[in-house]
């Protein structure tokens, strides 16, 4: 099992925003000027890039990303990506991991809003990131200052080379919601595709807490939030900022694929937060009202709670507690928008 890594130097937008270029949410690499050495689709892979020594294919060294041939003419290479959701963009990560002598010297990012799958030739592209110098084998976290919403982005390489991963961090537009309605017209306030995000989790040793907010059921045990084995008193927890303020009516806790490592129990606290920082929420959350009292959990099972919920009104954040540790595949918080 690959151990997930969190870059401590990554800016806040990588934690507070959704990666709109995630193919698990529906993003697609539509077209590229060249992909001789490595296909454009690899650039959007949600897993961190890897390097496999001695692995070659018909075109040369196998690289985990998008890589064009060495340009022998004028011009630049480019790739157009359809985002998973129309939204505002707060920043990007142009990751050149494992590309050392073959990374682009510079790159730029543009965005457009299009009603068609592939933007037309006369689409109006807006510069989101000016041509910026890149370095080999590192993340380039680049902020975006543009208030418009976009459906597509275009990355341009000056003049050629390879990019391991491209992340486009933003917030889904309200007009796209509700993206995942439930029976009865409820709205999944904890869905990443609707704009929910994990503020903080005390431990993410085996699986990132953000996985709980992804669509569908988990694909395997690695597709969920899993903490290390707790060897001290207490319990593990994660704080989730809801997509929109709302009144939670129904909760689903899914332990799919977690059998010998599911939590013994869980509970939820919630509150309407109108200020403060992510750091201050960690302390505040310990004293939030209880939304769902402690409930026993089962292995590899979808647990649904409705009658057990307390009436605490509209909330913006929840603290999800697991006792004492373990793994949870998905967390769904169905409710009415406030």
Contact 82, 27 (CB under 8 A): yes
Residue 184: pLDDT above 70? no
Q: For residue 6, tell me if it sits in a domain.
A: no
Q: For residue 7, tell me if it sits in a domain.
A: no
130/244 same-domain check: no
142/189 same-domain check: no
46/152 same-domain check: yes
Over residues 124-148, mean pLDDT: 98
Q: For residue 206, tell me if it sits in a domain.
A: yes
In which domain, by residue range, is 194 found?
A: 177-337
pLDDT of 173 reads: 86
Retrieve residue 83's tokens. 């985002």
pLDDT of 176 reads: 44
Residue 177: pLDDT above 90? no
190/328 same-domain check: yes
Which of 173, 205, 237 lies at the terminal end of a domain, its last residue?
Answer: 173
Q: For residue 5, tell me if it sits in a domain.
A: no
Q: For residue 2, tell me if it sits in a domain.
A: no
189/136 same-domain check: no
pLDDT of 3 reads: 62
Domain count, the chain: 2
182/331 same-domain check: yes
Which of 173, 203, 227 lies at the terminal end of a domain, its last residue?
Answer: 173
224/268 same-domain check: yes
Q: What is the pTM of this model?
A: 0.86
148/24 same-domain check: yes
323/221 same-domain check: yes
120/200 same-domain check: no
Over residues 113-132, mean pLDDT: 97
Q: For residue 3, tell me if it sits in a domain.
A: no
Question: What residues have CB less than 8 Å from 107, skipping those under 6 apart?
Answer: 94, 129, 131, 132, 134, 140, 155, 156, 157, 158, 163
User: For 1-32, what is each residue's pLDDT tens digit?
Assistant: 456 667 888 998 998 899 999 999 999 999 99
Nearest to 83 by CA among 33, 23, 42, 34: 23
198/305 same-domain check: yes
Which of 173, 205, 226 lies at the terminal end of a domain, its last residue?
Answer: 173
Nearest to 333 by CA among 187, 171, 181, 173: 187
Strands 290-296 and 265-271: antiparallel
Over residues 275-289, mean pLDDT: 89
258/153 same-domain check: no
Return the CATH number at 158. 2.60.120.260
Q: For residue 1, tell me if it sits in a domain.
A: no
Residue 33: pLDDT above 50? yes
């Amino acid at each position: 099992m690959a151990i997930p890594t969190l870059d401590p130097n990554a800016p806040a937008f990588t934690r507070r925003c959704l990666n709109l270029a995630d193919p698990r949410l529906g993003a697609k690499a539509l077209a590229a000027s060249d992909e001789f050495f490595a296909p454009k689709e690899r650039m959007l892979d949600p897993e961190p890039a890897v390097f496999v020594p001695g692995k070659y294919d018909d075109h040369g060294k196998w690289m985990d990303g998008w890589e064009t041939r060495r340009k022998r003419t004028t011009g630049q290479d480019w790739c157009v990506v359809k985002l998973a959701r129309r939204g505002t963009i707060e920043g990007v990560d142009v990751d050149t991991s494992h590309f050392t002598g073959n990374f682009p010297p510079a790159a730029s990012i543009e965005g457009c809003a299009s009603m068609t799958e592939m933007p037309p030739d006369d689409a109006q592209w807006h510069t989101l990131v000016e041509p910026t110098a890149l370095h080999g084998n590192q993340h380039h976290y680049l902020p975006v200052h543009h208030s418009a919403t976009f459906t597509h982005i275009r990355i341009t390489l000056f003049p050629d080379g390879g990019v391991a991963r491209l992340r486009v961090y933003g917030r889904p537009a309200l007009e796209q919601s509700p993206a995942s309605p439930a029976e009865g017209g409820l709205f999944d306030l904890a869905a990443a595709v609707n704009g929910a995000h994990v503020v903080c989790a005390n431990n993410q040793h085996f699986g990132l807490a953000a996985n709980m907010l992804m669509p569908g059921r988990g694909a395997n045990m690695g597709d969920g939030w899993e903490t290390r084995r707790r060897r001290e008193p207490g319990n593990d927890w994660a704080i989730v900022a809801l997509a929109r303020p709302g009144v939670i009516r129904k909760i689903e806790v899914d332990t799919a694929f977690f059998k010998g490592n599911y939590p013994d129990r869980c509970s939820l606290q919630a509150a309407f937060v109108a200020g403060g920082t992510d750091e201050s929420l960690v302390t505040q959350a310990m004293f939030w009202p209880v939304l769902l009292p402690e409930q026993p959990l089962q292995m590899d099972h979808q647990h649904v709670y409705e009658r057990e919920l307390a009436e605490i009104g509209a909330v913006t954040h929840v603290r999800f507690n697991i006792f004492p540790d373990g793994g949870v595949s998905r967390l769904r918080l169905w409710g009415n928008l406030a």
